[in-house]
Structure 1
């Protein structure tokens, strides 16, 4: 008797929902935590089909699941536990983790379930994701803001050319139509150039949808390099070295953001020095390795430990959150972002080296 009272007290004071059903799916036990989680009182649930606590698509097949287990002994959830969905009294669907066990009493088979409500956990995860997305967006806007003057200058060049070409074409329309057509072709080229600049800016600041997919790393690197070349006074400073094509699984917008930040920082480091070099090296393998090197002055030893801390920067402009965000993105992709201190100059390089390592996609992504 004492043992039964003790067990009942434990069940009723448990934080997680505990319920038990018979082999025909009827609820035999339903504790107070279950009342709080589902919104039904024990009187409303006891003796009813447990399917009332499930979404329609699960409820429709639940009876068959039990029959299959009783006839075959093949467990799909018993002793394993998994995330499923439940339905509250008000009809709202919510996520939960369900662990199921089995016991016998007087020759009858029963199932007991322990239910952990994941609503708050999932909501917190979504809030964190949304906050991270906002921080990433701020980082992208910050990077573009730092490049704003150069971008405006570059965009103004093709627009000015378009204006001048149109004036010249107007003069030639009557007396030299062929010459006017040649000028119109130049107008189209300059308009396309302006459009490409705008496209690259939009790629940099667009909001990521958070969806991961298979993408061509080469195209993302080319896009990042072209944007940085647009704002560089000496675009030939940047070169790409790769061992061949590579596919990655992730968010291409976020990976592009990392590369733009690293290349832009490298360009800032080499400044106006006559033989400035920035190299983007890609090495295949698992993990795949992308290295951005420069021959600038490097990072002082006193600042190396602070490189990836938010709001830490050696530059007078910017928020100092670029590298911090980049490392977070790399880790969210199962990779890492590292700084490698120079060990002497090699191939004219040795100022600073940032290494982005990302895992190769597995068969499920191909």
Structure 2
């Protein structure tokens, strides 16, 4: 695009030449006639290699062959897919590598001809930083799950030892009865098999809790997650005196989430509620769900003494805990997980009719 020696045009030329973002212009046929230095830094092509050629050379092949058709359709119908909107797309560098970029396209007219100007911003560093942040969050989340299982380690080992001991006893008894009473031996074998399934279920729940997960979100049944989390926490309840009531958790609620991470949040909330009621006679933890507009609310409440007022303001801060051997990262991680799913996690202050008298946490998640 030529510039005259006027003051305004000189300013425009300086602005385009020094802009951090790439600026280019094309005619109605897609031919490039403006290509600033930032474009050269972003794409790797020199101006002389691009000006006069079709802009599709800066696009991955799967998009390039469709570009002219999009441009023609817009000129004929006015149907804008990207013009005046802006969006994240992929560009193609001179070395053949693809990269994410933000593209804003505008339209103008000069000399009776329609032209289009595009502003390009390279998003490579931002996308890489976001990916790294997700990886770090996943690692922290995994550390939190391992920590939670470690805190329950003694109880889980005790619970797992029970079916293993029973299996050994049943097999020894069936060996003695094998010749004298085959029917009794078969019955003992069946009971040993039941105990092995019980042991397998315990191991499966532990594995689900500590596995790294695939960091993929899919439609999952919320009731299944709540049931699994309650079962794992029940296994870790050594004296079996805590009643975990999930009867008010509605079935057939589907959420779009990472099952491993949401299971982690539920286990942490239920375990915290169980710890809060330790040492008292009547120990109750209740999980209930409700639908509110496009969100699902999961309340985890207990009949313990509630949260210490001095701890409440810092409750979701890292390394804040009232547990003797706790790391204090559980609730912090749980809130991060909830927010990364577009939801929230909060401690409710206001009493509610029918709620238990202790602490009440609310996990809100978007419905599928």
1:127 aligns with 2:135: no
SS at match of 2:180: coil
Structure 1 residues 77 and 253: alpha-carbon distance in aligned structure 2, compared to 1, 3 A threshold: same
Distance 1:236 1:296 in 2: 11
Match of 2:340 in 1: 332
1:237 aligns with 2:243: yes
Distance 1:195 1:30 in 2: 65
Distance 1:220 1:352 in 2: 22
Distance 1:283 1:348 in 2: 14
The range that moved more, 269-278 or 147-156, is: 269-278
Q: Which of the residues 244, 258, 278 maps onto 2:285?
A: 278
CA contact (8 A) 2:242 2:283 kept: no
Structure 1 residues 342 and 114: alpha-carbon distance in aligned structure 2, compared to 1, 3 A threshold: closer
Number of aligned residue pairs: give it.
360
Q: CA offsets per residue over residues 263-305 of structure 1, 9 Å max, x none?
A: 1011111113221111112223333221111122221111111
Match of 2:141 in 1: 136
1:355 aligns with 2:342: no
1:175 aligns with 2:183: no
CA contact (8 A) 1:293 1:349 kept: yes
1:295 aligns with 2:300: no
CA contact (8 A) 2:249 2:287 kept: no
Q: Which of the residues 254, 277, 282 maps onto 1:247?
A: 254
The range that moved more, 216-225 or 64-73, is: 64-73
Match of 2:268 in 1: 261
Distance 2:205 2:150 in 1: 14
Structure 1 residues 208 and 235: alpha-carbon distance in aligned structure 2, compared to 1, 3 A threshold: farther
Q: CA offsets per residue over residues 144-169 of structure 1, 9 Å max, x none?
A: 00001111111111111111111111
Q: Which runs of 5+ in 2 are unaligned?
A: none
Q: Which of the residues 4, 11, 15 maps onto 1:10?
A: 15
> How much has 1:308 moved relative to structure 2?
0.5
TM-score of the superposition, structure 2-length normalised?
Answer: 0.94
CA contact (8 A) 1:83 1:98 kept: yes
Q: Which of the residues 217, 220, 223 maps onto 1:215?
A: 220
CA contact (8 A) 2:223 2:249 kept: no
> How much has 1:64 moved relative to structure 2?
1.1
Q: Which runs of 5+ in 1 are unaligned?
A: 362-366
Structure 1 residues 179 and 305: alpha-carbon distance in aligned structure 2, compared to 1, 3 A threshold: same
SS at match of 1:289: strand
Match of 1:364 in 2: none
Distance 2:254 2:111 in 1: 60
> How much has 1:343 moved relative to structure 2?
5.0
> How much has 1:108 moved relative to structure 2?
2.2
Match of 2:315 in 1: 307
1:96 aligns with 2:104: no
SS at match of 2:30: coil
Distance 1:347 1:59 in 2: 62
Alpha-carbon RMSD across the aligned residues, in angstroms, is: 1.7
Q: CA offsets per residue over residues 124-147 of structure 1, 9 Å max, x none?
A: 111111111111111111100000
1:58 aligns with 2:66: no
SS at match of 1:174: helix
1:188 aligns with 2:193: yes
Distance 2:351 2:224 in 1: 31
1:82-93 to 2 correspondences below 5 Å: 82-93=87-98
Distance 1:78 1:164 in 2: 75
SS at match of 2:300: strand
Structure 1 residues 138 and 71: alpha-carbon distance in aligned structure 2, compared to 1, 3 A threshold: same
SS at match of 1:130: helix
> How much has 1:347 moved relative to structure 2?
6.4
1:12-51 to 2 correspondences below 5 Å: 12-51=17-56
